[in-house]
Structure 1
Amino acid sequence: MSAGSAALLVTALGALLAGCSGSGHPAAAPNPAAAAPTLADIPATPSAAVPSTAPSDLSTLRLPVEQYILTPADNAQLNQATWVLAGDCIQQHGVTFPTPAPLTHQRSGSEVPRRYGPADPAVAAKDGYHNPAVTEQDKMPPTDSMASLSAADRATVNRCRAIAQKQLSGDAAYGSSSIGEQINSRSYIKATADDRVTAAFAAWSGCMKTAGYAYASPIDAYNDPHWSASPTAEQQEIATAQADITCKRRTNLIGIWYAVDAAYQQQQIEAHQAELDRDRASEQRQLGKARKVLARSPGSN
């Protein structure tokens, strides 16, 4: 896996796991779930129903594994309920630590529009390859409050949070299905190396060359080091992102990439159906408990 693939993978999956993490390119947050089972090794290349034309509305597309992993909105709700529960424990130990403000405006719909790099011309016209800016309230908490604590008090806060996680998860792993997250990561990597997708990359690259841009793949365009030199998108970056989207549409790149990605996911889902069903049931139980906790806690919603 190339460094470029890794960076765009973080873009695709970091948001799915943890919501927005601030301006610039996002970073995946650590998943506190237990050690994940090993995915079955399936060497066969799956067939994929590739659409003949580019999809007109990416928000209507959902990857198969999305039904088994938590959305950013789900994660925000679970995280907030965890801190509410932990707050009682923290207070009982005499530590002053405010319950972090709830994350708001977290996504609950399809992640397909963000998974393959820029896809929305209106967003690209404003942000290029950068993430849209987020408010301080919507960044992952806590940071400053933890840094101000003594080592002993930080240990207390972390211990209380672990207890709260256990209250929500019971005997299951806390949070999103770890095997589902693995499938989500692996399918992206497998699809990106698939001959059908690399052929689409070549067609996209030819389109970009005609427009005056020399990139072998949209991953290279996304990871152009020039973009990281500025905290916001400048005109060159915006123009490149807009050309990127135009060429994706002309070559049906996202339609092909999505279809192959989904095929690899379905292959793994069928091999791990029982585990995924178990994890999905656990996620729903945790979210149900989280909603009850937040309903009892004024100001947490």
Structure 2
Amino acid sequence: MATTGSAALVVTALGALLTGCAGPNHPVASSYPAAAAPTLADISATPSAAVPSAAPTDLSTLRLPIEQYVLTPAENAELTHATWVLAADCIQHHGITFPTPAALTGLRSGSEVPRRYGPADPAAAAKYGYHNPPAPDGNNVPTDNLSSLPTAQRTTVFSCHQDAQTRLTGGATFGSSPIGEQINSRSYTKAADDDRVKAAFTAWSACMKNAGYTYASPIDAYNDPHWQGTSTAGQQEIATAQADIACKQQTNLIGTWYAVDAAYQQQQIHAHQSELDRDRTAEQQQLTAARKALGQSG
């Protein structure tokens, strides 16, 4: 499931460090040791999972265990905007005209569960089928206008941006916990291959067949080539997505999938608790520094 599978929040670091660009009014994050490249523990045991007897009625009330250790899209956007605000003086110092990108708004700050397992909202499916709803702020990408700069200036902007990231992080990994994001991704894959979820897939598939659709799993329905390469959903796609949701509810597929997914996450959290606690501290330091920078910029 290309866009809903891992729900990972990827932040790309830009350029090489450029020293000497910090302005006197810029906050400096507390020094924090950078984490080594995280490696997930190899746990062979299959965790038990408390699967609900009935399909959940409000997915927004469900939270995956790892969500307390990774940043939300809204928090990542906040960090990104603060980084550009901090980089502005450095960029201007080098005589480069590059406007500070506007803050992205309307990004999610709540549970990721409603989007993680494919279409789940009948009203959204009636509009978008398997397509994603329009992104907040259209398709605005903060670095769209970088391509208009000469190569040397673009490199300097990247360097100023990296310097600003470093001042926010104090040397820690920028953005969300790397090991938290790995756990988030791996648990989805492990759950989809779990016998309990596979049995739910089989029940869902039979339900879909009775409705006139042939798919082995909702992942196959989501990745149907017929939906690819179009900007909007056609009637066939919408009808399929609506049947998909109805069968998920009838078979309690999401309730099962979520419970097993959460169980695998909890297993990995227990194995990596100290690393996750360390990363969560670093995340909070970054957010504090970012909010201070954004407050000063106002």
Q: Secondary structure at the match of 1:239?
A: helix
Aligned Cα RMSD in Å? 1.6
CA distance in 1, matches of 2:173, 2:295: 23
Is the counterpart of residue 206 in structure 1 residue 198 in structure 2? Answer: no
Q: Which residue of 1 aligns with 2:154?
A: 154
CA distance in 2, matches of 1:41, 1:141: 38
Q: Which residue of 1 aligns with 2:4?
A: 11
Specify whether residues 127 and 195 from structure 1 end up closer, same or farther in structure 2 by C-alpha distance, changes over 3 A only: same
Aligned positions, number = 279
Is the counterpart of residue 110 in structure 1 residue 135 in structure 2? Answer: no
Please list, as runs of the form range in 1=range in 2, the aligned pairs for 1:178-193 lying within 5 A after superposition: 178-193=178-193
Please list, as runs of the form range in 1=range in 2, the aligned pairs for 1:1-301 lying within 5 A after superposition: 8-14=1-7, 16-17=8-9, 30=12, 36-134=37-135, 136=137, 139-143=140-144, 145-298=145-298
Contact 1:65 1:180 in 2 (8 A): yes
Per-residue CA deviation, residues 125-168 of structure 1 (Å, 9 max, x unaligned), is 0100001113545633212x111111111110110011000010
Per-residue CA deviation, residues 88-114 of structure 1 (Å, 9 max, x unaligned), is 111101111111111000000000000
CA distance in 1, matches of 2:45, 2:88: 49
Structure with the bigger percentage of helix: 1
Q: Which has the larger radius of gyration?
A: 2
Contact 1:118 1:124 in 2 (8 A): yes
Q: Which has the higher contact order (CA 8 A, sep 6+)?
A: 2
Specify whether residues 101 and 35 from structure 1 end up closer, same or farther in structure 2 by C-alpha distance, changes over 3 A only: farther
Contact 1:169 1:282 in 2 (8 A): yes
Measured after TM superposition, the shift of residue 9 of structure 1 is 4.8
Per-residue CA deviation, residues 183-221 of structure 1 (Å, 9 max, x unaligned), is 000000100100000110010000000000000000000
TM-score with structure 1 setting the length: 0.89
CA distance in 1, matches of 2:95, 2:12: 28
**Structure 1 segments of 4+ aligned residues over 2 angstroms from their partners:** 9-14, 29-36, 134-140
Specify whether residues 34 and 227 from structure 1 end up closer, same or farther in structure 2 by C-alpha distance, changes over 3 A only: farther
Measured after TM superposition, the shift of residue 12 of structure 1 is 3.6
| Unaligned ranges ≥5, structure 2 | 15-33
TM-score with structure 2 setting the length: 0.90
Q: Secondary structure at the match of 1:99?
A: coil
| Unaligned ranges ≥5, structure 1 | 1-7, 19-28
- What percentage of residue pairs aligned between the two structures are identical? 69
Measured after TM superposition, the shift of residue 296 of structure 1 is 1.3
